[in-house]
Amino acid sequence: MSDGIATRDAYGKTLVSLGGENDKIVVLDADLSKSTKTVLFAEAFPERFFNMGIAEQNLIGMAAGLAASGKIPFASTFAMFASGRAFEPIRNSVAYPRLNVKIAATHAGLTVGEDGASHQCIEDIALMRAVPNMTVICPADGVETEAAVRAAAEYKGPVYIRLGRSKVPAVFDKESYAFEWGKGITVREGKDAAIIATGIMVPVAVDAAAELAECGINVRVIDIHTIKPIDRELIIRAARETGAIVTAEEHSIIGGLGSAVAEVLCESIPVPMKRIGVRDTFGESGTAEDLLEKYGLTAKNIVEEVKRLFGNKTGKK
């Protein structure tokens, strides 16, 4: 994997190219445009950029009104304020009438870093996927972000796109990458267990798989970029073919990817599984790296869990 960029940077750049292609695209922000990177769109298309000030409810409500009148609004702020403060306008003014609003929420998860727990949203996937009509996407790297943002602009209906603050390694090659709505991607083949990851945990899962291969354990790595609707088929096949599943996400273990995968498995093909995520606790200030280490979101944690499940499966300890 090569050095990459933060998914928010990829979002900001993609918005600018989309803005040049489609004049229905408008962008709204709530005084965080320099951080969410919508500032790039604001500079390129000032007449189609609207700063709402620090008022996230109005941000979403106005986006709904613009969508109801034929625009394709991208509304951005931090994940905490989008999914938290504006939850109800999202639910009632966007999702219920199925309006064509794209909520691109940056600074999700622990890797917000130094700002601390108040700004580290680890509940947004749970909140957003519970809402009918909502699609939830969490891209792994810059390439996937660009493709996801483009797909969201073409899709008619509400979409929540979860983006991060920190730089992430590039997982995908732009030339060969294809984004399919609601379809996961098998990043690495393997039969001994499967790691199902989303967002920044995808490259971490790839690292873990490489380490496990050295111990003779061949692990499949699946990137679930669309958490809702989730790719049931791919998950069920992974469970059938590997018999052990580890999920990895930069989100609470309650209600996020791990829960979504567990729901699929429990109803269709129960296999031993383990959820790696934030274990029902708030974060704290620190560097992104230190936080991932402290809260158990590293390749080492994944390796340990896979080994444990694989050991149970084969009777080897």
Judged by the rule CB under 8 A, the positions of this chain that interact with another protein are 26, 47-48, 50, 52-53, 55, 57-58, 60-71, 73, 88-89, 92-93, 96-98
Residue 125 identity (one-letter amino acid): I
Smallest distance, another protein to C-beta of residue 137, A = 23
Rounded Cα distance, 42 and 19, in Å: 10
Structure tokens at 66: 């613009």
Q: Which residues contact 187 (CB under 8 A, 6 or more apart)?
A: 171, 202, 205, 206, 221, 222, 223
From the list 56, 144, 146, 249, the catalytic residue is 56
d(CA 141, CA 114): 22
DSSP run (H or E) holding 11 = helix 7-21
Which of residues 98 and 307 has its CB atom nearest to another protein in the complex? 98
Nearest-approach distance from CB 132 to another protein, in angstroms: 12
Q: What is the closest distance, in whole angstroms, from the C-beta atom of residue 21 to another protein in the complex?
A: 17
Nearer to another protein, 55 or 262 (CB): 55
Nearer to another protein, 58 or 186 (CB): 58
Of 96 and 181, nearer to another protein (C-beta) is: 96
Rounded to an integer, what distance in angstroms lies between the CA atom of residue 209 and that of residue 189?
A: 10
Alpha helices by DSSP H, listed for 215-298, are 232-242, 257-268, 288-294
Q: Report the DSSP beta bridge partners of residue 77.
A: 105
Specify the residue for token string 């769109």: 41
Residue 275's DSSP bridge partners are 247
Rounded to a whole number of angstroms, the minimum distance from the CB of residue 50 to another protein is: 7
How many other CB atoms are there within 10 angstroms of residue 213's CB atom? 14
Q: Is 123 designated active site?
A: no
Nearer Cβ to another protein (95/273) = 95
Q: Closer to another protein by CB, 41 or 172: give it.
A: 41
Q: Retrieve residue 194's tokens.
A: 């499967």
Residues 6+ apart with CB under 8 A from 297: 110, 201, 204, 248, 250, 276, 277, 278, 291
Residue 182 near residue 216, CB atoms below 8 Å: no
Active site residues: 56
